[in-house]
Structure 1
Amino acid sequence: MRILLSILLVLLFVPDWSGEPRLPLLPDAAAFRVEQVVLDRRDPARTKLGGLTYLGGVELHGPGPAFGGFSAMMVEGERFTLLSDGGNIVSFVMGGDWTPRAVRFAALPAGPGRGWHKRERDSESLTRDPATGQLWVGFERANEIWRYAPGFAAAQAHSAPPAMVKWSSNGGAEAMVRLRDGRFVVLAEDRRGSVKGTVRGLAFNSDPVKAPRHGFTFSYRPSRGFKPTDMAELPDGRIAILNRRFAVSSAFTAALTLVPRAAIRPGAVVTGREIARFESPVRHDNFEALAVVREGRDTILWIASDDNQWPAQRSLLLKFRLDI
């Protein structure tokens, strides 16, 4: 009788409890360590990779199982914000000495459902308006886009764009970018586009939360066998797209492609130009996050990996200069 009463109390007072543990949260103690990594273990001095130059990188080692799973990223100067696919946020400052400082752990203040299960907080994409500081997060499974106040202080509004309704539960808004002209571009992970070998893309004329019906569809063709995981606008207006492939023989590999912004038009089939491929012998993993910044005249690309909270994978944060 006592056991039965305990179960009834849990069902009554714990939201959405279904006998499964809640998504793990980050601990109160804000700390983690990094370990510097080379691009190619066989040739530690190597820095060139296609149209990129490797400037260094680290593997992140965090406290507990909630650390990792990074699917989206934002970089502002030396301030990094990493968003996991479980709604956890890790932010820190890191300069040329590769030492994290001013570390903060947090969680999205709201999102689809109550955040009890991964299917409710499968946050996969992130973009920002530098003028207002507002942030947008794309959620798989729910196929929704949420807008947050600067610093993720609060959720402001959200929408379920009609064009995303039929996207699969595991292939939703995987990549999203707010362009400098105020438009938004979203790529599905596996919603097929108009022709074989492509995925569905959406372009919104403005904030997709405020005007989810105003825009058009197109198709994006990644490198063969790859699917898009993130994208960012370059200073010259081109769009860099990070793509991922999984195979039993090689595990996760990645390809970086560039797309002219003008190529994204209603009904277009947009093919990315591959400029770098991450496969053996260079370091490769489940790369899912991409951010672009300027350092003087250089265009810098930061790439991060989602370790899926799995010991065989790594949380990597790598820095490259774009040379083309």
Structure 2
Amino acid sequence: MIAVLAGLLAGCGSANDPDEAGPAAIQARAISTFRSGSDQLRFGALEFLGGLELSSDNSLLGAISAIRFRADQRHFVSVLDTGHWLTGAIERDEAGRLKGISDARISPIMDRDGGTDAGKGEMDAEGLALRGDHVLVSYEQYHRVDTYPDPGFETSPPDGTIPILIPRRRLRANRSLEALMIAPRSSPLAGGAVIVAEDSLDDQGNILAAVLDGPLQGRFTVRHYGGFGVSDGVFLPDGDLLLLERRFGLIHGLGVRIRRIAGADIKPGAVVDGKVIFEAGTRDQIDNMEGIDVFRAADGSLHLILVSDDNHSILQRSLMLEFRLHDENLLSQN
């Protein structure tokens, strides 16, 4: 969460009605242009393909922190920072553009005792990853990475936890374990889980991060600059990491960018950085962008899906945006 943004918007919305858990009818308004007053499609390395503004009569919808797609590239799993799962499927029109969300369901995330009322301080879900027969979730405030059985995560307490390696005293309460992703098995990280904090820094001002398991297990850091905090990330098939970052302030306004970090640079003790391949601001159809995922489309190109956290505020929106990643080197990767 961005502290300034949270402070400005606190109390604007609510999502505490447990009776709303279950199926959720989601309405979607199509977004056909990304930049206001312009038909421009290319933004850095990304080509805008379309988007949706989501709403629902179900008060639990909102606060989307992360999204991961299943192998069919249609069904997805999301977490809400209110301590809920959101599952569903994207629908497309005849031209292949995003059209809506179907089969949506919202359910509370169970805590370690099998309860569902531990409160946001313990269930502030921010990061999400799918690996084998488990769903991994990272949490702020009560810093941890828990594992849930898959299938069955929606009705099960966690069946394990993964040591986060980063000293908890170095993690800021509401700006900690924001991004959680799984490296390709074919990469040097060999399918390891990776976490990156939002805005918890070391003594040199770099963002704390760690490879949680695998052959390169250990801590590393990410260079921090420009007032951006990390909100999510995803590995590309070639092993490079895309980091989604956002900022909000009176000087710069709302902003989002994506940095591409070479996968080979991620190793214990490293300070990593990468090229900014995409950046957007107040002229563009963005909000508090919190989640990113990637999948390969039928034509072989890589598509990115970005989602936003509306903080359950009437001043913000729940967005789902789709882009094509332009990179000739990636098209040859399996």
Report the Cα distance in structure 2 between the residues aligned to 1:162 and 1:280, rounded to whole angstroms: 37
The equivalent of 2:141 in structure 1 is: 141
AA at the equivalent of 1:202: A
Aligned length: 294
Correspondent of 2:211 among 193, 203, 206 = 203
CA contact (8 A) 1:223 1:274 kept: no
The equivalent of 2:9 in structure 1 is: none
In structure 2, relative to structure 1, the CA distance for the partners of 1:117 and 1:186 (3 Å cut) is: same
The equivalent of 2:161 in structure 1 is: 158
Give me the TM-score of the superposition, normalised by structure 2. Answer: 0.82
Aligned alpha-carbon RMSD (Å): 2.2
Report the Cα distance in structure 1 between the residues aligned to 2:214 and 2:16, rounded to whole angstroms: 33
Q: Deviation digits for residues 242-270 of structure 1, max 9, x if unmatched? A: 00111124543111010011111222111
The equivalent of 2:3 in structure 1 is: none
Correspondent of 1:70 among 60, 64, 68 = 64
Correspondent of 1:192 among 180, 201, 211 = 201
Q: What SS is found at the alignment partner of 1:119? A: helix
CA contact (8 A) 1:164 1:172 kept: no
The equivalent of 2:83 in structure 1 is: 87
Residue 80 (structure 1) shift: 2.3
The equivalent of 2:316 in structure 1 is: 313
CA contact (8 A) 1:124 1:137 kept: yes
**Contiguous gaps of at least 5 residues in structure 1:** 1-20, 208-213
The equivalent of 1:107 in structure 2 is: 108
Q: Confirm or deny that 1:57 pairs with 2:66.
A: no
Residue 41 (structure 1) shift: 2.2
CA contact (8 A) 2:292 2:306 kept: yes
In structure 2, relative to structure 1, the CA distance for the partners of 1:133 and 1:252 (3 Å cut) is: farther
AA at the equivalent of 1:81: V
Q: Deviation digits for residues 41-96 of structure 1, max 9, x if unmatched? A: 211x2211111000110011022432100011111211122211012222222232
AA at the equivalent of 1:135: V
Asked which structure has the greater CA Rg, the reply is: 1
In structure 2, relative to structure 1, the CA distance for the partners of 1:240 and 1:288 (3 Å cut) is: same
Residue 111 (structure 1) shift: 5.0
Q: Confirm or deny that 1:267 pairs with 2:269.
A: yes
The equivalent of 2:36 in structure 1 is: 41
Report the Cα distance in structure 2 between the residues aligned to 1:248 and 1:64, rounded to whole angstroms: 32
Q: Confirm or deny that 1:175 pairs with 2:179.
A: yes
Report the Cα distance in structure 2 between the residues aligned to 1:202 and 1:300, rounded to whole angstroms: 26
User: Percent of aligned positions with the same letter in both sequences?
Assistant: 26
Q: What SS is found at the alignment partner of 2:191? A: coil
In structure 2, relative to structure 1, the CA distance for the partners of 1:123 and 1:299 (3 Å cut) is: same
AA at the equivalent of 2:108: A
AA at the equivalent of 1:88: H
Q: What SS is found at the alignment partner of 1:120? A: helix
Report the Cα distance in structure 1 between the residues aligned to 2:15 and 2:76, rounded to whole angstroms: 27
**Contiguous gaps of at least 5 residues in structure 2:** 1-13, 94-98, 185-189, 328-334
CA contact (8 A) 2:255 2:280 kept: yes
Q: Deviation digits for residues 92-117 of structure 1, max 9, x if unmatched? A: 22232213222222221325985432
Correspondent of 2:280 among 278, 281, 284 = 278
Give me the TM-score of the superposition, normalised by structure 1. Answer: 0.84
AA at the equivalent of 1:104: R
CA contact (8 A) 1:187 1:199 kept: yes
- Paired residues for 1:225-240 under 5 Å: 225-240=227-242
CA contact (8 A) 1:71 1:288 kept: yes
